[in-house]
Amino acid sequence: MICLGIESSCDETALAIVADGALLGSSLASQAGLHSIFGGVVPELASREHYHYIGPLYDELLAKTGIKQEDIDVVAVSRGPGLLGSLLVGLAFAKGLALALEKPLLGLNHLHAHLLAIGLEGEARFPALGLLASGGHTQLYRIESPSSFISLGKTLDDAAGEAFDKTGKILGLPYPGGKLLDDLAKMGKAEKGMLPCPCLGKDNLDFSFSGLKTAAAQLARKKAGPTGKLEGRDLENFCATFNLAIAEAICKKVKRAMSKNPDLRRLWLAGGVAANSLLREKLRELAYKKNVEFAVPSLELCADNAAMVAYAGWLMAREGYCHRLDLAAIPRGAKIPDDMLRKPAQ
């Protein structure tokens, strides 16, 4: 079965083809450079860029994979959460193709697709404890199957990636600052206990990063002194301290979720922030200590991509799921409806 995946939820336009569970190829246009000028993603510009690139990327993908469009069996698209205007570009393209090719349409939860992508690089067995950390979300799930994700906890304010990017901005790093902050942290030495570890009560599995972000801004100001700017070794040490505080805050909740769900013997980490070197190391260590299998995608599959959408679409289509052509795009903050249709097994 051949599944075309389309991703346009934020600032990457991407298309990919998965055939029988294996990635055949992908095409991507990143807008990072454009939005960097404004210090964050500008929604109107993002939709226009998606609109501009989506057609040419589709042609490029067919040419590079050698797949003819009549060979596509299912069209999968990220339906949310994301920027509404951006999602609509991907959805309109997916619906047009599904209609023209007379093939089923599938709208995927972008966050679930990030986690399911683990199956592209190794065997993904269920159930698993999943941590999704990206620019807009931080979510803990109990994952029972490709179509059954039970939320255990989520961020109550900023997402982990948002905390990285906003702190990066304070430090004068270009947007998005997460990767640069992580790279600088590798050269510095962390000072333990300088930043708070948000806990939110003994049993809570939710996250909160806004207090940590504010404390980090205050600490950066204090460390910078009269120049107002952290530089050189001081900057590296500050980044290491911040990186450690975020990794420890996340690990604390994951550890708690493991104790509350002792039957889950697998831990999956995904999303843009899953590229963070310290978080990968700390969660791998934690899983090892708890004798739990650990899986995280390779770095290129952590950031937004369409391979994860094509693969998750292939998994769902294999289970007989599809959507109607009136599939709605779901913006960030709104609930994704449980509106997939399931064809009876043949």
Residues lying near ligand KG4 in the complex (CB under 6 A) are found at 10, 134-136, 161, 164-165, 176, 178-179, 182, 271-273, 275-276, 303-304
Among 25, 246, 304, 308, the residue binding Zn ion under the rule CB under 5 A is 304
Q: How far is the CB of 250 from ligand KG4 (least distance, A)?
A: 11
User: Which span sits near Zn ion by CB under 5 A: 45-53, 72-80, 236-244, 298-306?
Assistant: 298-306
Smallest separation (angstroms) from ligand KG4 to the CB of 101: 28
Q: In angstroms, rounded to a whole number, what is the distance separating the alpha carbons of residues 183 and 181? A: 5
Indicate which of ligand KG4, Zn ion, none lies near residue 11 (CB less than 5 to 8 Å, by partner kind). none
Among the listed residues 94, 3, 86, the one whose alpha carbon sits nearest the alpha carbon of residue 52: 86
Work out whether 86 is an interface residue with Zn ion (CB under 5 A): no
Tokens of 8: 């346009």
Q: What are the φ and ψ backbone dihedral angles of 336, each rounded to 5 degrees?
A: -85, 120
Q: Which of residues 165-224 bind Zn ion (CB under 5 A)?
A: none
Give, in degrees to the nearest 5, the angle at Cα 121 between 120 and 127.
Answer: 75
Residue nearest to ligand KG4 (CB): 272
In whole angstroms, how far apart are CA 99 and each of 177, 315, 325? Answer: 40, 21, 8
Instruction: Compute the least distance from the CB of residue 227 to ligand KG4, in Å.
Output: 26
Beta strand residue intervals within 134-228, DSSP E: 138-145, 148-154
> Is residue 134 part of the contact set for Zn ion (CB under 5 A)?
yes
* Three-state DSSP class for residue 186: coil
- Comparing CB distances to ligand KG4, the nearer of 2 and 117 is 117
Among candidate residues 335, 285, 302, the one with its CA nearest the CA of residue 134: 302
- Which residues are near Zn ion by CB under 5 A? 134, 304
